């Protein structure tokens, strides 16, 4: 695979993930757990592995520690060896030409030195915060055949979501004639997936002309629109499963897709690899199901102990569901404890949260948006932060946040009404 051997991967993994709110308050968005055993970045790294790519620059920035600990040397994705490797590339502060990354293009610009070491023929630029399965080798081959300077992967999205993406207009031959980044009233619903194959020489020239002169710092906002009419830009259509999990609803929905055989998301079939030794995860005992338990359309990982009812939910390793407890339509992360008789519905519980016996989480009026973050939480989901403690008998409504580490019982609260937040 000549095209793969001559391609360097630049993987953007420094996103803040602000719309995921407390799920991304202590970790980078690509490091958010997903699907019972994985993290979001595992999907992109597994695509890299299956596509035969061997050299990756991992561009980090926001709260990178759990992400770096997860990726380590790249062994789970076969990125270790004499001709293989993954290099963590944080921003370098203190010099005249380097600072915190100001955008996607600036992040790549600040690491030109890394690319120059390899002098690749092509550069594949990826984002580490999407859920999908894609053969990059086929896209790279299409780029080579066409003689394009830049090839952009794209797919049709619903018209009511067009404003969230960069969109393009193409001719019958697939060449891109217009590109607009996140605008209202766009002329097309053909959305960029944030997956770019650049010819190396063209990439360096465009970065020098735009970022190097401080005219802009982002590929979608600045670099790509400026290439229209001057360079050859090819659209590479994609029709498989792909989801941007940038909101709490899209994150929960994508997890629920793991349980739907018709969704197109196939964890086993996609052969997603992850880091199995994280905090001894590979040494967890088998799932244990009590005599009175009932599990319906759910995914429960190793180390879980289930004594109650679990329906339509994702349980990560080490979750304990007490006798008489009910968990429905929820994502429950590592080592969460749900006490006897508790009820959890349409909620996301981050790692090591404790729900006391008889507590009720996520029942109420979905029409009441979260008062502190109405644009983040207005669809009925309740989110409990990492290591939060909820006392026995507590009632927590819909669209609620309980911030990481908050001990609600220590505050003497017996209920959290719809749309309220228990902050630190």
For 205-244, give one letter per residue: b (16+ CB within 10 A) or e: ebbeebbeeeebbbbbbbbbbbbeeebebbbbebeebbbb
Query: Could you tell me which CATH number the domain at 280-422 has?
Result: 2.160.10.10
The confidence score (pLDDT) of residue 12 equals 94
Beta bridge partners of 130: 244
Tell which residue, 241, 13, 47, 222, has the closest CA to residue 140. Answer: 47
Element (H, E) at 45: helix 41-50
The confidence score (pLDDT) of residue 1 equals 43
Rounded to whole angstroms, how far apart are CA atoms 245 and 31? 12
Distances (CA, A) of 157 to 191, 253, 364: 6, 16, 32
Chain centroid to CA 296: how far? Answer: 26
CATH class of the domain defined by 2-257: alpha beta
Task: Give me the residue spans of the domains in the chain.
Answer: 2-257, 280-422
* CA max distance for the chain: 68
pLDDT along the chain (424 residues), means of 10: 74 81 88 94 97 94 83 91 88 58 91 92 95 97 97 93 88 93 85 96 97 93 94 96 93 97 95 79 87 96 97 97 98 98 98 98 97 96 98 98 96 94 90
Give 94's DSSP letter. S
Rounded to whole angstroms, how far apart are CA atoms 390 and 360? 10
The confidence score (pLDDT) of residue 176 equals 96
Rounded to whole angstroms, how far apart are CA atoms 12 and 333? 25
């Amino acid at each position: 695979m000549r095209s793969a051997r001559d391609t360097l991967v630049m993987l953007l993994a420094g996103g803040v993930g602000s719309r995921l709110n407390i799920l991304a308050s202590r970790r980078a968005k690509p490091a958010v757990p997903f699907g019972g055993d994985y993290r979001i970045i595992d999907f992109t790294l597994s695509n890299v592995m299956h596509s035969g790519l061997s050299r990756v620059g991992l561009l980090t920035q926001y709260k990178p520690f759990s992400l770096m600990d997860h990726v380590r040397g790249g062994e789970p994705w076969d990125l270790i060896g004499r001709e293989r490797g993954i290099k963590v590339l944080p921003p370098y502060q203190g010099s005249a030409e380097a600072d915190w990354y100001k955008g996607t293009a600036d992040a790549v610009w600040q690491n030109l030195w890394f690319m120059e070491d390899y002098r690749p023929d092509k550069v594949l630029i990826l984002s580490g915060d999407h859920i999908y399965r894609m053969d990059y080798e086929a896209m790279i081959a299409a780029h080579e055949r066409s003689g394009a300077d830049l090839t952009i992967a794209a797919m049709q999205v619903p018209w009511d979501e067009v404003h969230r993406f960069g969109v393009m207009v193409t001719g019958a031959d697939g060449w891109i004639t217009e590109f607009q980044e996140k605008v209202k009233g766009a002329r097309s619903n053909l959305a960029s997936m944030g997956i770019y194959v650049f010819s190396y020489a063209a990439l360096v020239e465009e970065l020098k002309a735009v970022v190097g002169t401080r005219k802009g710092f982002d590929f979608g906002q600045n670099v790509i629109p400026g290439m229209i009419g001057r360079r050859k830009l090819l659209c590479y259509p994609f029709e498989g499963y792909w989801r941007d999990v940038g909101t709490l609803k899209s994150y929960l929905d994508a997890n629920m897709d793991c349980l739907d055989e018709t969704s197109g998301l196939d964890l086993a079939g996609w052969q997603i690899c992850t880091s199995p030794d994280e905090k001894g995860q590979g040494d967890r005992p088998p799932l244990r199901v009590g005599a009175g338990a009932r599990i319906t359309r759910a995914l429960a990982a190793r180390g879980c102990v289930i004594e109650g009812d679990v329906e339509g939910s994702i349980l990560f390793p080490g979750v304990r569901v007490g006798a008489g407890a009910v968990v429905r339509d929820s994502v429950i992360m590592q080592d969460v404890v749900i006490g006897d008789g508790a009820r959890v519905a349409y909620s996301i519980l981050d790692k090591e949260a404790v729900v006391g016996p008889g507590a009720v989480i996520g029942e109420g009026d979905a029409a009441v948006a979260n008062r502190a973050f109405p644009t983040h939480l207005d669809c009925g989901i309740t989110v409990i932060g990492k290591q939060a403690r909820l006392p026995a008998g507590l009632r927590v409504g819909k669209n609620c946040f309980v911030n990481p580490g908050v001990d609600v019982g220590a505050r003497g609260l017996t209920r959290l009404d719809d749309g309220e937040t228990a902050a630190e």
